[in-house]
Amino acid sequence: MDATTGAVLYHKLQLWEPGMESEEEEEEEEIAEPLVLSLRRLQNTPGNKVGGLPGAWTRLLAGLLLLAVSSSLALRQLQGRNSPKGNLGPVDLPASRHSHHPGVYHHSAVISPAATCSQLGQELLVAGGNVVDAGVGAALCLAVVHPHATGLGATFWGLFYNGSSGNSTALTAGPAQILAPGLGLPTALPALHLLHTHFGRLPWSHLLAKPAMLAQKGFEVDAPLASALAAQGTEGLCPLFCHTNGTPLGLGAQVTNPSLAAVLLREALASSPDLVGNALLNLLVRDLGLELPSVQPKPSLEPALQLPLPQGVLFTTPGPSAGPELMGLLESTLHSKTPSPASCSSPLQTAETPVSSALATVDSHGSMLLLTSSLNSSFGSGHLSPSTGVLLSNLEASSVPSTWACPLILRGNLDDTEDDMLGLVASGIPRGAKAMACTLFNHLTTPQTQQQVQHQAQQRPTESPGICGQEALLQVVVHAEHAQVSSIPSGCCPFQGY
């Protein structure tokens, strides 16, 4: 089935569909006053010069790009002031008629490895965006603040379930392609833009605005990034992530990446989907002294793999992700009625697990987006492109499956629209498919009662930022018309919602 046909188009979420007046009476009123993110002139920050371009020309170009994006967003707002899509900026959360426990929300939620990016996802949701807008925006944010695990040079896989239509779609990266030995061809921008084009609601330029601001104005080094810098060293990463004496930046240090900000702003102005990623690729090949590759990255949208279960239907991503392996493990485990102790007691000692990043968004109508990405190694190739501020992956072997990618969604009984839904996505877990299979099997064989769900929700999470991102399992649930998010280890990844 062609993923671009009507069968997989993302219907508008039920919150906006006609005929939902009775349900809307229970929802909060729409935010009436749209706000625009304030974009300022780029500055040539010391220690972050754009290689290959004189500083004055760089500042002039960046300033023109910022002015163009700001004008475009303002024009869109004026045109859509009387429309739900006119709410394009961060706004105050609507007053709730009843309180929820941490991780439980009446409308929608986002969970990611960085608090800044979870906050951005929430802002996009409140501004009228859907789970795809929030997920793609958070992924672009992580590309700025977590360059050790993801970025514009990363490979992305995704799984989207449309609670309105019941369709499931996989974002597939395809086999890894190389730009040069040890340097993977970047696919992040084409992949995320493709997903947003088919299923997003807010303008593409709006999703790029705040990540560009973070790259230009600066962001704080959080615990995962500080830990990765301490372990990696600074070779190839200076001056962006180094002090003047060459030592790596530590926790709380401020980082600016004006070259990356300029790339994001150029992408915001791309006039055609075919042009998305071209500006980045042109700058990369110039930095490396290469010619443009004859084969461009071609991410795609495909129907998700499905596995009928007594409890409902399981969805996951096709190969070369680890989705087919996950399907095989589940079929074998469910057929035997019990997993072997060796398979679920502890992860097996395997080769080094690729460094990866994961996030999830969910709404109370059953729509879910699970995204996972990887540069393969920490900081990927380990060589920073001076003209773009981007680190490329070192994913090369096209014949090796993406063992780190196996997001799954379990839809309960399709005949019961009130039945629960479960989404799982992991990052940095050895033998990810096996860990996911065991987690799902335990969920199916020991169903939780309503009291247990409430008890877990009442346990206020304790932030553990040092372990957030790697060896983490994110869980999203739709239960009793509420969106719930959590993580294993508990509280390791920040979440936001409303």
Is the C-alpha dihedral spanning 374, 376, 379, 385 positive or negative?
negative
| CA-wise closest residue to 48 among 386, 381, 390, 288 | 386
What's the confidence (pLDDT) of residue 293?
81
Could you tell me the pLDDT band of residue 217, with boundaries at 50, 70 and 90?
very high
Tokens (6 digits) for 121: 């996802």
CA pair distance 126, 257, nearest whole angstrom? 28
* 104 occurs within a structural domain: no
pLDDT at 155: 92
For residues 458 and 357, what is the distance between their CA atoms, to the nearest angstrom? 27
Distance CA 225, CA 468 (A): 10
User: For the ranges 76-80, 327-331, 418-422, 486-490, which has the lowest average pLDDT?
Assistant: 76-80
Q: Given a cut of 90, is residue 144 above it in pLDDT?
A: yes
Assess whether pLDDT exceeds 60 at residue 47.
Answer: no
**Per residue in 389-407, pLDDT tens?**
999 999 776 656 677 888 9
Q: How far apart are CA 51 and CA 58, in angstroms?
A: 10
- At residue 339, the pLDDT reads 54
pTM of the model: 0.79
Q: What was the pLDDT predicted at 56? A: 53
Question: What Å distances lie between residue 59 and 68, 261, 354, CA to CA?
Answer: 14, 11, 37
**DSSP label at 412?**
-
Quote the CA–CA distance of 60 and 65 in Å, as a whole number.
9
Residue 351 in domain: yes
Sequence-separated (6 or more) residues with CB below 8 Å from residue 57 = none
Q: Collapsing DSSP states into helix, strand and coil, what is residue 454?
A: helix
DSSP assigned state of 32? -
Confidence of residue 17 (pLDDT cuts 50, 70, 90): very low
Q: What value does the CA radius of gyration of the chain take, rounded to a whole number of Å?
A: 22
Range of the domain at 270: 6-17+34-91+110-497
Asked whether 270 and 276 are in contact (CB, 8 A), the reply is yes
Give the Cα separation of 189 and 152 in Å (integer).
6
What φ, ψ does residue 159 adopt, rounded to 5°? -140, 120
96 assigned to some structural domain: no
Tell me, what's the pLDDT at 488?
87
pLDDT over 80 at 15, yes or no = no
| Predicted confidence (pLDDT) at residue 305 exceeds the cutoff of 50 | yes
Residue 464 has pLDDT above 50, yes or no: no
Q: Please tell me the predicted confidence (pLDDT) of residue 25.
A: 39
Q: Which helix (H) or strand (E) holds 497?
A: strand 495-497
215 within a domain of the structure (yes/no): yes
The 3-state secondary structure of 134-179 reads HHHHHHHHHHHHCCCCCCCCCEEEEEEECCCCCCEEEEECCCCCEE
* pLDDT tens digit sequence for 196-211: 999 999 999 999 999 9
Report, as an integer, the average pLDDT of 341-363: 68
Q: Which residue has the higher pLDDT, 455 or 412?
A: 412
pLDDT above 90: percentage of residues in the chain: 44
Q: Give the residue carrying structure tokens 């560009």.
A: 212
Closest CA to 428 of 358, 343, 476, 326: 358
Instruction: Tell whether 28 is covered by a domain.
Output: no
Grade residue 29 by pLDDT with cuts at 50, 70 and 90. Answer: very low
- Whether 495 shows a pLDDT value over 60: the answer reads yes
Q: Of 113, 173, 123, which is closest to residue 359 (Cα–Cα)? A: 113
29 domain-assigned: no
Q: Report the domain count for the chain.
A: 1
pLDDT at residue 96 in the model:
53
Task: Tell me, yes or no, whether 313 lies in a domain.
Answer: yes
